[in-house]
Amino acid sequence: MQLKRSKFEINLNPIQRGGILTKEAREALIEFADGYSVCDFCPGRLDLIEKPDIKKFVHEELPEFLGCDLARTTNGAREAMFAVMNSLKVAEKNKSQIVLADGNAHYSSYIAAERAGLDIEIVENSGYPEYKIDVENFEEKIDLNKPVLVLLTYPDGNYGNFPNVKKLSKICKNKGIPLLLNCAYSMGRLEIKLNKLGVDFLIGSGHKSMAASGPIGVLGFNKEWEKIILRKSRYFPNKEIEMLGCSSRGPSIITLIASFPIVRERIKYWNKEVEKARYFSGEMEKLGLKQLGEKPHNHDLMFFEAKPIYEISKKHKKRGYFLYHELKKRGIGGIKPGLTKNFKISTYQLTKEEIDRVVKAFGEIVK
Amino acid sequence: MQLKRSKFEINLNPIQRGGILTKEAREALIEFADGYSVCDFCPGRLDLIEKPDIKKFVHEELPEFLGCDLARTTNGAREAMFAVMNSLKVAEKNKSQIVLADGNAHYSSYIAAERAGLDIEIVENSGYPEYKIDVENFEEKIDLNKPVLVLLTYPDGNYGNFPNVKKLSKICKNKGIPLLLNCAYSMGRLEIKLNKLGVDFLIGSGHKSMAASGPIGVLGFNKEWEKIILRKSRYFPNKEIEMLGCSSRGPSIITLIASFPIVRERIKYWNKEVEKARYFSGEMEKLGLKQLGEKPHNHDLMFFEAKPIYEISKKHKKRGYFLYHELKKRGIGGIKPGLTKNFKISTYQLTKEEIDRVVKAFGEIVK
């Protein structure tokens, strides 16, 4: 069956901008396209394969990149969150069955907890217009709930806000509660080091921020958690239970590995990405749109409240769909068809010229 | 990073023969290579995307193909087994915590049960040389263990044996125990219909037998299980807990869909594959090797006991590695380097000429 993608010259979808493959990943994908093709020389477990060198990547390069002792790849960031929660549920079965998360947590954080049979309690954000997480509010809720895990989203996928993780990690250390940091929108975009941040678990997403085709996630942690997270099968002593033996087999891992040298390099230029985002935010506000979330903004993912565009949509014959079509005409995509009142945009890895083209398009549309 | 695969003209590895991509899948893979590229027009859940038409595939074509009401794709066959086990653990928490499986079950069946916090009991196979599963032996063990689930592997990945599933499904129906059929080596190779076989859950593997790059699995079942397997999040009422919202996003599903019309066609010629396998088995036995497992054989996956080759390895300067190197010289791969005494071979989708080339190679090596 022939399957074609409607491509846009400029795609603004925040979930997609960090997952565009590098040339190297595209070549590796074609080379290792067939099912199980990374398993030609498997010694019994995916992360131990040396040809291609998955072993070096998982056991040396990833931990070094993340500033932690151990790393594994999973079938996605949500699957990595689930692996941690499911492990803690088993290991801490006499403790409370509650995950305490920030109010900006991705929906899959809730569902991972539900799948593991855990309840979830929330530390609310500050509401309109910044929706910030004040990590000091965790303290009381930790005392109240005695959670098995604290989860912080860094940044969240709605507003691109960065809460104060170092302060929270101190609180969690004092209380003796492990802290999981969901870095699906940061690992692969900026430097994320477990030991510097003081957290227990780092979660990343290959297809969201590490130039991999996916689905693939990354999980980093220190040795103190090894026996819990990487507990072995009682029937097959070489196999790790939470990985179901092997996790991200195939093209998912090969694209992650192939892009990795470029990803490792690109995080050095994160300040340029923040500059571009702030410039874009400023230009959009000149058009009468309002950027919600932290200001000045610290991430390429931006949430806009677009009253002028919403007003147009009310009178337009295409209604809410007019924005999608007007942008499409100009080679721009990534905002969900139908949305006008609020939408998210990412400028990650767009050039200055591309950003100006987007601003110009919105300018024409607003007029 | 440039990553190259050492390719063989003929690859005999049973885990790989059914996962070789079709031309269509290879094109789709390139088209949808970037992370999240199938999600351009997502209405909120992977299986509901209509462009590309994942919705039709998951909600119409797969159930029709599998002769059941409902289907989902997962991150792999093992992940599908885990989803069923984890669901049953929640739904049947007052019942026994035991999965009763056949003695030829894949290791990931054990680990899926362990991950779900279930114990596993085994119905042993008949031992050397056929390693058959007599499904009548399940009856007593069901009475003894009152399992929450019975699991049968159809065929298993060691010997390629097909146990009598219809007989077992009658036993399970009588006892009121659900039956899961692991078809990782059959779905996509031969006709597998849930309603004809009388089972409760069908599990398949895209990368093992459905010409997909993977990792991707398939889960089929009837409506009576919908509320248990597809139970929804209490926080996000549209999201299915066991799928963690969305499962096999990206290239995994696009290659499965692209290959599907060819897979649907190729299962009609399964008898030719069995004929080829039997021919190959016969020729190998003429060389002094012994095919273990069912005879006459009913699957392309064959286990050989290779005494003549083992004898050579004892005297050869390369020891056990000589077989790998001798085959490699002849453009043949897929037997793990170091093995000589016992190994598995699949003839799936090899031409008669290729099979004769393999037989000739073994003939030369044995001499």
Domain A270-366 classification at class level:
alpha beta
Q: Rounded to an integer, what distance in angstroms lies between the CA atom of residue A254 and that of residue A28?
A: 6
SS3 assignment, position B92: coil
Q: Which of 250-289 (A) contact B at CB < 8 A?
A: 250-252, 254-255, 257-261
* CATH number, domain A23-266: 3.40.640.10
At B22 the pLDDT is 97
Q: Which of 54-83 (B) contact A at CB < 8 A?
A: 75-76, 78-79, 82
Chain A CB contacts of B107 under 8 Å are: 233, 235-236, 239, 245
Q: Which residue, among A51, A52, A23, A62, has the nearest Cα to A203 in the 3D structure?
A: A62
B211, A28: Cβ pair inside 8 Å?
A: no
Which of A213, A240, A332 is best to mutate for the B interface (most B CBs within 10 A)?
A213
Above 90 in pLDDT, residue A250? Answer: no
Domain B10-16+269-366 classification at class level:
alpha beta
The CA R_g of chain B, rounded to the nearest whole Å, is 21
Above 90 in pLDDT, residue A96? Answer: no
At B160 the pLDDT is 98
Q: How confident is the model at residue B94 (pLDDT cuts 50, 70, 90)?
A: confident
Identity of the residue in A5, A19, A42 whose CB atom sits nearest the CB atom of B35: A19
Q: Which of 147-186 (B) contact A at CB < 8 A?
A: none
In A, minimum Cα distance to B261 occurs at: A1
Residues 6+ apart with CB under 8 A from B363: B287
SS3 assignment, position B74: strand
Above 80 in pLDDT, residue A290? Answer: yes
At A6 the pLDDT is 83
Chain B CB contacts of A33 under 8 Å are: 21, 25-26, 29, 213, 255
A27 CA to chain B: closest CA distance, Å?
8
Chain B CB contacts of A78 under 8 Å are: 244-245
pTM: 0.98
Q: How confident is the model at residue A88 (pLDDT cuts 50, 70, 90)?
A: very high
Measured CA to CA in angstroms, residue B31 lies from A331, B23, B212 at distances of 18, 13, 15
Q: Which residue, among B143, B94, B92, B147, has the nearest Cα to B119 in the 3D structure?
A: B147
pLDDT, tens digit (0-9, with 9 covering 90-100), for A22-43:
999 999 999 999 999 999 999 9
A174 CA to chain B: closest CA distance, Å?
30
Quote the ipTM score: 0.97
Q: Rounded to an integer, what distance in angstroms lies between the CA atom of residue B308 and that of residue B367?
A: 9
**What's the gap between Cα A125 and its chain centre?**
19
B248, A215: Cβ pair inside 8 Å?
A: yes
Q: How confident is the model at residue B93 (pLDDT cuts 50, 70, 90)?
A: confident
Identity of the residue in B1, B112, B257 whose CB atom sits nearest the CB atom of A3: B257
Above 80 in pLDDT, residue B1? Answer: no
> Where do the DSSP E strands lie in chain B?
10-11, 70-74, 98-102, 119-123, 149-153, 179-182, 201-205, 217-221, 290-292, 301-305, 332-333, 342-346
SS3 assignment, position A357: helix
pLDDT, tens digit (0-9, with 9 covering 90-100), for B329-341:
999 999 999 999 9
**What's the gap between Cα A231 and its chain centre?**
26
At B242 the pLDDT is 98
pLDDT, tens digit (0-9, with 9 covering 90-100), for B211-258:
999 899 999 999 999 999 999 999 999 999 999 999 998 899 999 999
A39, B15: Cβ pair inside 8 Å?
A: yes
In A, minimum Cα distance to B211 occurs at: A35
Q: Which two tokens stand for residue B21?
A: 């991509």
B235, A110: Cβ pair inside 8 Å?
A: yes
At A71 the pLDDT is 98
At A297 the pLDDT is 98
Q: How confident is the model at residue A1 (pLDDT cuts 50, 70, 90)?
A: confident
Q: What is the mean pLDDT of residues A147-168?
A: 98
Give the domain ranges of chain B: 10-16+269-366, 23-266
Preceding omega of B14 cis (within 30 degrees of 0): no
B251, A82: Cβ pair inside 8 Å?
A: no
At B277 the pLDDT is 98
Beta strands across the sheet bearing A301-305: A290-292, A301-305, A342-346
At A26 the pLDDT is 96
Among B2-16, B116-130, B146-160, B353-367, name the one with the lowest average pLDDT.
Answer: B2-16
B21, A35: Cβ pair inside 8 Å?
A: yes
**Amino acid symbol at B235:** Y
Chain A CB contacts of B15 under 8 Å are: 35-36, 39
At B115 the pLDDT is 98
Q: How confident is the model at residue A90 (pLDDT cuts 50, 70, 90)?
A: confident
Q: Which two tokens stand for residue A182?
A: 């969901």
Q: Which residue, among B295, B259, B292, has the nearest Cα to B274 in the 3D structure?
A: B295
Q: What is the mean pLDDT of residues A138-147?
A: 97
Q: Which of 198-217 (B) contact A at CB < 8 A?
A: 206-208, 211-215
Chain B CB contacts of A22 under 8 Å are: none
Q: What is the mean pLDDT of residues B104-116?
A: 98
